[in-house]
Amino acid sequence: MPVRRQRLDGYLQVGYPPALYGLPLEPLALRVGLVAMGLTLFSIVLAIWFTRPLRVLSASIQRIASGDLEHRVAITSRDEFGEVASAFNDMTSKLAAMLRAQQEFLAGVSHELRSPLARMRLTTEIARDQGSPTMSLRTLEGLEHDISELDRLISELLTASRLELSAEPLTRVPVPLGLLVQEVLSREAEHAERRRIDVRMDHGAEIVALLNVNKSLMVCAVGNLLNNAIKYSPEGASVSLNTSRREDWIRIDVEDRGIGIAVEDLDRVFEPFFRADRSRSRRTGGIGLGLMLVKRIVERHDGRVQVSSQAGQGSRFTIELPVYGEAASI
């Protein structure tokens, strides 16, 4: 492109600028752009290369936080990142060992408590059958109730330890929904009768589904919900256990008209050892493992559990499980 210049003597000079470094301007601009683009790409690659170990470490932290204590970070270098990864793996190993030792301790203590508990139960049965001059019937009933509560607590501890210690898939069998519900009702019948609670069951004849479950664990999960509904309802009240089906999912609802749960506690009810009824813990018993077990068991069966509640008006717990097949009505 011609360039016009004004000379000092007043004449106007028209011409082309000399080549810069021996190159025309347009090829030079192209080369400068290519160099800038190359530097940009190099910077991006370099940034990705430097931050990759951090992203790997961040993903590992998230896996550990979700409960996968067997996960370890792959050590691919001996630089600073390799040292951090090695320290992280050592920390995770020690944490896993501590938790495993704690769980094994709980399992061992729970197992050892079973023997004296069985002897206590046998003693009360003999005293009831033969008659004890020093123990009234009311005293025996209270003692039997305490033994049952202790037995339930030990069962929860053993179940929690088994779920935590075993990473193997659960042993499952096809179980008709109706049979599962009947076993839950049978398990909690004495508790409901003792507190004069009317347990109402509603499930339509069309609910003929099979569930692929570990039967004892699922009876424990649904039974814990029904036990809580009975426990936290006033004497003479009623609770309901309803089943329904929606497409390929079975829904089990346990609802009561008891004390309810405060809104601020709803997100924590499935945490281990959390007690929403802290002011009533002596009367209701338990240490806050029941709902934690429900959540763990249901999730190990690819299901989900939810709660809705309002303080003073009752609660509804819902378990949803995938349908495995069809079965005859029970």
Residues facing 306 on adjacent strands: 318
The answer to whether 261 touches 309, Cβ cutoff 8 Å, is: yes
Give the pLDDT mean for 31-39.
74
Q: Is the pLDDT of residue 75 over 80?
A: no
Burial of 99 (0-12, 13-18, 19+ CB in 10 A): middle
> Which pLDDT value is given to residue 17?
53
Q: Is the pLDDT of residue 21 over 50?
A: no
> Which pLDDT value is given to residue 235?
87
The predicted-structure confidence for 118-175, as pLDDT tens digits, reads as follows 777 777 777 777 666 566 666 666 677 667 777 777 777 777 767 765 666 778 899 9
Q: Is the pLDDT of residue 330 over 50?
A: no
What is d(CA 290, CA 271) in angstroms, rounded to the nearest whole number?
10
Report the b/e string of 229-238 with b at 16+ CB within 10 A. Answer: bbbbbeeebe
Burial of 31 (0-12, 13-18, 19+ CB in 10 A): exposed
> Which pLDDT value is given to residue 257?
87
pTM of the model: 0.59
Most confident of 94-103, 110-119, 128-137, 184-193: 184-193
Residue 49: pLDDT band with limits 50, 70, 90: low
Q: Which H or E run includes 173?
A: strand 173-176
> Which pLDDT value is given to residue 166?
61
The amino acid occupying position 88 is F
Q: How many of the other CB atoms lie within 10 Å of CB of 240?
A: 17
Q: Average pLDDT over the chain, rounded to whole?
A: 75
Give the pLDDT mean for 2-20.
51
Q: How many of the other CB atoms lie within 10 Å of CB of 105?
A: 11
Q: Which two tokens stand for residue 100?
A: 């495993």
